Every structure is written in structure tokens, then in C-alpha cells.
Structure 1
């Protein structure tokens, strides 16, 4: 059996290494355009901010380790065409320029995503950078040494984390986003307000509800960012406006969503029986709605890559789906979310009820007891959990993993109210705040006139 894997970050590494262990007699070839594999891009801001001193810690595998498993690693090879009818891969060795043609019996596409680059005048200036892979992170670190003013465009997870890193490094930081608040895809306003307050307290300029029109510079170097409302002097611009699935190789060859994300079944099979797909290039089964969604997360990618390998010969292990669960640490604030927020439900036209409670994470008689804010979304008709968010200076983010399991298993607010959680004063209260959220949700349905 001749198996090819294209792309080797999270999904590709998981797929190739699992295939090698399950099918040691197969011939496995990995094509990767970079000179490294398995870079943990979620640690990019930690690397830029100097929290991670040794960047090698951000790689959990290497071409050498994969070679030891019997995998042929075609590093710095750019695949430019896939002949799906004849099952051939056409690639170019980026070092030598040599053209390579190779066949396959099974193909696993794990080409990931790529940063969105808006058609903005000046985006090709020298100090306008992207933030996705290891080489880009290294370039950001090097250029930031000579920059006093840094502008980050895009207030998602990576953008917000980079803002924190640059501020801690003593830079004058501006954060620009077209939305009226930061992190709007992950958290509702009562949560993002707390992070924005923290940013402003530290002198970070938030340029929200603004669209970048052009970037100006001289002699190739950036000097200012011009939006539809203001101008911002800057020495360095980091573009973090989102990601798109990197699926051009299979356009019109397999089924895709409108945004180009490949659709796969529960066994990671595409509409072509010899091709599997996993990771950021794919849509995922989204349990809160029952449909498919594009949610590029490392956790989804690793699971999907492993599932593609396990189902390569025959359907064996089905994907249970995802809730889009994620977490973030900014300054002293710990936050996490799963499933639908009030904002995302509204955009999807889904009717949900939401309850928000505030409590302390442990009893008041303890030396410290941090405030916890939790918000739960649920379906008023079926009473099923659909989402939750939490924020606190105490690290209570694992509660969101609990809700994630609850959503996946169809848990109701009634079950959440009385589910068994341990009590120990060092950690929590006799009534866990998740129990209290369930109880409050029940009360709102029983006594809607009091809400």
C-alpha cells in the first residue's frame, strides 16, 4: 500500500506517525514545503514574547523522528498538482528545482490553513508580516528588536496574544479590528470588556470598528497604517485577520464548503474514495448545531489526523465531532469558551437562552477567593446545553472542558444543575458554579416573568 500525506503540521504529523505504527508494511511519503514539522503555532506569541526561550520546545516531532518510523520525508517540496484520476502527485523540490512525480493508493490531505492577506495597498512593505509558522515567528522577533511602535491588525486569539507580548516587551502597541470589540468570535461582550479594560489600563490603543485602507512607507519600510477613521504611526505591522483553508490543490476535485474547506464524513473520507482529509483544511462536525463548521484549532487537527489514519483501510473509529472548545490566558485573566455564544447563535439565527452568574471560585473564609463569571447558553425547548464561557483570575478553565463533554453527550440544564462535583475549600464551593448555572437556567424557564 502506497500512502502519501501532503502537509505536516498537526494533522499531517498525527496522520503519518499513526499510519506508520498501524501499517508498518506500507510505503509512506510525506510532502512538506517547509523545513520543519509539527510547529505549535499556538505557542507563537509565547516565543515572540520570550516566555519560550528555546523554540525547539515548540516542535513535538521532527523529520528525523519520522524517518525513524520508516516514513520518507520530502521536506521543502511544494506539491503543485494532484491528478486524482491517475492518482499522481506532482511536486517541486524547492532546494534543487527538481520536478517530482509520485503515485499513491491512498492520499491524506493535511495542507492546513494560511493567513488571510487583504488586498491593501502597502501590504508588501518590508515590515508588514504574517504570523502563522515558525519562520514567520522568527522574523517577527528579529524585526521587533528595532521597532518601538507595533501595530497588530486582527483581534482574534493570535492577535490579542501578540499585543500582550509586545506590550510586555515595552513596545507602544495599537490593535486594529473591524469589529466593535476584540475576540468577538469566541466570547460575548461582558467577557471581552474585561480584557479591553486590561489593555487600555496598560496603554494599549484599541482601534476598533476600523478598517485598514492602506499602509504607507518609504524605501520599503512601513511608517503608518491608515484606516477609514484614523492614521497610526508604526514601525512594524503584524497581520492577523484570520485564516482560510489551504485547499487549492483539490478545488473542484472533492466536495467543499463555500469558503473552500473540504467536507469529510465521520471517518475523514472526502467525496473521492481514495482521498482522506484532516485538520485546518477541513470543515468539522459541529455538535451544538449538528452541521459542519470551519474551526481551525490544533486540537481538532490532531484528532482528525489520527482518525484519518485509523480509518484509512476501513471505517473503524467515527469522529464524535467538536464544540470548538478553546482557552486563552491574557495578563492575569484566564478565559475559555465552548459551543455557541450569544453572539454566534444570533449570527446563525439560532434561538438560545443565556444565563450569566458571578460567584467566587472558593469560599470567602479562604485567604483568597477570586471572582468567576460564567455564562451558559441552552436550547429553551429541549433544555440541552449549547455553549458556555468563563473568565476569572483563578484558573477555572477546566470547567469549560466539562461543559464541552456535556454538549457532546446531550446534557440538559437539569442534569448540569445536579451533576456530582467534588467539594474541597482549596478548590471550589459546596455548590459548584456550574451547578449554580444549571439551577439559574431552570429558574429562568420556570419563572420567565422574573428574568
Structure 2
């Protein structure tokens, strides 16, 4: 079988590695990748900027040579510029010499990933305005930030918050701007973001929330000022962290997609054409808390989906069970993780939900050290199934978000979680785990 793969970051690497391991020479894989690298972990950019990861090459977990040694034909610096679905062929441009050629396929795997959303405002083309997505962006950020004192970050999601902290560790003056009135508004509720905003502020980061960037101003072609609808900020460098969009322009009008371009796939990850699969940031995912297709670009989704496509390339063998969008972030001294919906998203979806919020110490109070754990659950009022959870502490309790993810995947209720069997040992927890405790608190309202 002849398989063409377009793009090779997380989903493409996972597919290629798994398919060659499963099938060997039974599948002929040709990978077309615009860059000369594969498998870069963009989530590590802030770690590199902050000096935690000294060598950015360690943020790659595979390489063209590794995949080539497995038997894949790696066509680096090649861009697919058209796809003819009826002919089952791709038109490819060699980015080194400009030559184009056509390649046919039996199966096509779309793992084209995503690209940063660039705001359409005057001055956005000025030098010194950076993106944060790939290896080359990471190099540019590190290089330019060495000579920058004042750095502005536009977007207070995970990437923006992590970069803000990294730059502060480098003793930079940092302004963090977001159009929302809270940081991390898509992930966490106010009980958590109030604490984290204070954490950022006491560590020297200036927050400019509820502000929309309307213009960038520069001198000699370099950005020097960020203008919002409420204020202006002198700057030596800007990083845009305003979200991502799927790289699927090639397939508009050819395959079914969400309004933002994310390709819709079935439970076996076929697109609307049975011989074309999609995985990773180019695809929509089945979001179990709402039972709907959503766009949730996460590396964890990508590697799972790419692996499942490999199992299904000959026949439908494994179903993709969907995602709860589980994620985590470290904000100075706080460890934060979330899974499923927060209140903002639940309201957007029109869900009739209830919440319960609690603060519980992570270990018994007779222990010499313990830390408060902040926990919040969202549940449907009709059947009490859990649809969201957030946890935060100076202790590392982030793995509990994985527990909440399993709870939601299996449609467990508040009662189920209240009496779930968790171990107890004073070095690690209390006789009632904090997830039990907050669920019990909710159950008192419901019985």
C-alpha cells in the first residue's frame, strides 16, 4: 500500500513510526515536510527561553534519519501545493529548487498541524514581532530577547503565561496583554486565575487584561510600541501568543471541516473521504464533555490520533475515544491542571451545570509540611455526570487531572467520584483524597 503523509510533527511522526513498526514493507510511506526537522516539542520553547532546557535540540524526540531508517521516504523541504482527491494524487514543490511533481497515493494522511493566529492590525509586519510555534521561532526568540529589555506578550493562554515567566527569570520587563479580563480564561475559572494573576504580579509581570491590541508602532522597521484600545506600552520585542488555526487551506471545498478549517473525522479518523485520514492539529476532535466536535490543538491528542490512524490504515481496527482536553501549566510556585469544561465554556455550550469548589490540604495536618489544594468540579445538573475539573497547588497534584479525565471519559457521576477507591499514605495524601472530598461536598447538595 502506498501512503502519502503531509506534515510531520507529532501526529505525522506517530503515524509513521507506528505504521512501519506494525507493517514494515507492507506499507510504503512517503512523508512531505516543508521544514528540515520533525517532532519539535513547541511546549518546550518557554523552558528553553528560561534556561531550563539548555540545548534546544533535546526538544526533538525523533528525526528524519530515524524515520528514514525505519523505511519511510522522507521528503524534507517539500511542500504539497495541491491535492486532487479524484485522482488520488498530490502536487509537490521542492522548496530547494522550485521544481514541482505529482505523486499518487492509495491512502493519504493529513497531519499538516496548525499555525499561530496573527492579528490583522497595523504594524504587525514590523521586525521584532515573534511567533512561538517551531524550532526556528524558538531560536529567534532567544536571539532577539538577549538584547531586549522590555518584552510584550500578546495572549495570556498557556504559551503567553509560560513565556512571561521565562522572560522574568531572565530579568526582563514583561507586559502580558489579553483581550479577556482574566489570564487563562479558556482553561480556568476565576477562583484560580485570581490567585495566579497575583502570582504573576508579585513576580514582576505587568498585566494588561481586557485590552485589545489595535496597532504596533516602530522605528527603522523595528517594533517600539504596542498600542491597545486603553493604553500603550514601550517595547523592544513582541511575542504573539493569540492561539492557533489548522493548516488545512488545501482541503477547503474538498473535505468536511469546522468553520475554522479543522477537518472532521469519524471514530476511526477517516475524513469525509474514506481513503483520507486526518490527525493532530489539522483535525477536529470528539470532545466527550459536550459530545461534539471541537478544535483542541494539543500534542497529546496528536500522538494518540496519529497512532490510531496507523492501526486503521488497512482496515478499521481501533476507535478514537475522543478527548477531555486535559492539560497543565506551571506558574511560578503553582502547579495547575485542568480537564474538561470550565464555566465559560459550559455557558457557551448552553449546558445546565452545577459547580463545587473546595480547598483541602494535600497531606494530613500532623505532617511537618502540607499545602492547600484548590479543586473545582463541574457537573451536569440533570444526571450529575462530571464534565470538568480544575486542580491547583504549590504541591504537585497535577496527575489528578488525569484521574478526572478518566472520570469524564467513562461518564462517571459526582457520587461515583465521591466514593472512588484511592489509596492513603500520609506522605502523599489524606484518608479522603481531595477529589473524594470535593465530590462529597457536591453530593451533600444533591441527595
Aligned residue for 1:97? 98
State which drifts further: 297-306 or 16-25: 16-25
Aligned residue for 2:432? 431
Aligned residue for 2:30? 29
Q: Distance in 1 between matches of 2:213 and 2:379?
A: 37
Alignment check: 8 A CA contact 2:351 2:380 kept: no
Aligned residue for 2:5? 5
Q: Distance in 1 between matches of 2:121 and 2:224?
A: 15
Query: Moved runs in structure 1, 4+ residues, more than 4 A?
Result: none
State which drifts further: 229-238 or 346-355: 346-355
State which drifts further: 353-362 or 197-206: 197-206
Aligned residue for 1:124? 125
Helix, strand or coil at the partner of 2:24: coil
Aligned residue for 1:164? 165
Q: Distance in 2 between matches of 1:280 and 1:47?
A: 23
> Which runs of 5 or more structure 2 residues have no equivalent in the other structure?
none
1:19, distance to aligned residue in structure 2 (A): 1.4
Cα deviation, 1:303-346, whole Å, max 9, x if unaligned, reads: 00011111111100001111000011111100000011112101
Q: Distance in 2 between matches of 1:100 and 1:199?
A: 52
Alignment check: 8 A CA contact 1:380 1:445 kept: no
1:100, distance to aligned residue in structure 2 (A): 2.5
Q: Distance in 1 between matches of 2:221 and 2:239?
A: 16
Aligned residue for 2:352? 351
Alignment check: 8 A CA contact 2:151 2:238 kept: yes
CA-based RMSD of the aligned residues comes to 0.8
1:348, distance to aligned residue in structure 2 (A): 1.3
> Which runs of 5 or more structure 1 residues have no equivalent in the other structure?
447-451
Helix, strand or coil at the partner of 1:23: helix
1:403, distance to aligned residue in structure 2 (A): 0.9
Q: How does 1:98-247 map to 2 (within 5 A)?
A: 98-247=99-248
Helix, strand or coil at the partner of 1:369: coil
Alignment check: 8 A CA contact 1:4 1:107 kept: yes
Helix, strand or coil at the partner of 1:24: helix
TM-score normalised by the chain length of structure 1 = 0.98
1:23, distance to aligned residue in structure 2 (A): 2.1
Aligned residue for 2:320? 319
Residues 1:274 and 2:243 are matched in the alignment: no
Q: Distance in 2 between matches of 1:185 and 1:388?
A: 13
Aligned residue for 1:88? 89
Matched length:
446
Q: Distance in 2 between matches of 1:7 and 1:280?
A: 11
Helix, strand or coil at the partner of 2:302: helix
Aligned residue for 1:259? 260
Q: Distance in 1 between matches of 2:204 and 2:331?
A: 15
Aligned residue for 1:449? none
Q: Distance in 1 between matches of 2:49 and 2:96?
A: 28
1:369, distance to aligned residue in structure 2 (A): 0.7
Aligned residue for 2:371? 370
Helix, strand or coil at the partner of 2:58: helix
Residues 1:39 and 2:40 are matched in the alignment: yes
